[in-house]
Amino acid sequence: ARARRYRYTLVNRIARPALERHYLSWERMPLDADAMQRAAQVLVGENDFSAFRTVHCQAPHAMRNLHAISVTRQGERVIVEVQANAFLHHMVRNIVGSLLVVGRGEQPEAWVAELLAGRDRTVAGPTAPADGLVFISPLYPAEWHLPSEVTLPAATG
């Protein structure tokens, strides 16, 4: 695989989800998904993601190439979709945790860029709960002639 895709979904309302509680995270404070989307775009590209890795991460380095990240709202749901060449331990959940701080208005959008540049996990947002995280798929090179759902576009290979 040359890339991986994850989706993090949370319900943004006062009441916790009941029926889908094992597959969705929850945030009771109103979130500005547009601000989260704008803040997230500084993460795109090849960067040192030390601010978004857990202390238990065993990767030899924190350099990763984040191909794309999007934050969208669909009714009460806020969905974060991320694609990268590889991920660090808890990287997606730590990114989401920091974006939630921005979405609640506790930090400005530029804060995410400061976190990335500072490479300090201790000042980033908390690790988001695991409940909302789903692995979508690996992505393979086009020359392998696999179904389009698991084929990496030539531009990001």
Q: What pLDDT was estimated at residue 21?
A: 80
Q: How far apart are CA 111 and CA 99, in angstroms?
A: 9
10 Å CB burial of residue 114 (0-12, 13-18, 19+) is: middle
Q: pLDDT by residue (tens digit) across 83-131?
A: 999 999 999 999 999 999 999 999 999 999 999 999 999 999 999 999 9
Instruction: Convert 130-157 to b/e letters by CB count within 10 Å (16 or more is b).
Output: ebbbeeeeebbeeeeeeeeeebbeeeee
Q: pLDDT by residue (tens digit) across 5-37?
A: 999 999 999 999 888 888 899 999 999 999 999
pTM of this structure: 0.93
**Coil, helix or strand for 141?**
coil
- Which DSSP string do the residues of 25-80 spell out, in sequence order? EEE-S---HHHHHHHHGGG-EEEE-GGGS-TT---S--EEEEEEEEEEEETTEEEE
DSSP tally for the chain: helices H, then strands E: 3, 6
> Does 157 have pLDDT greater than 80?
no
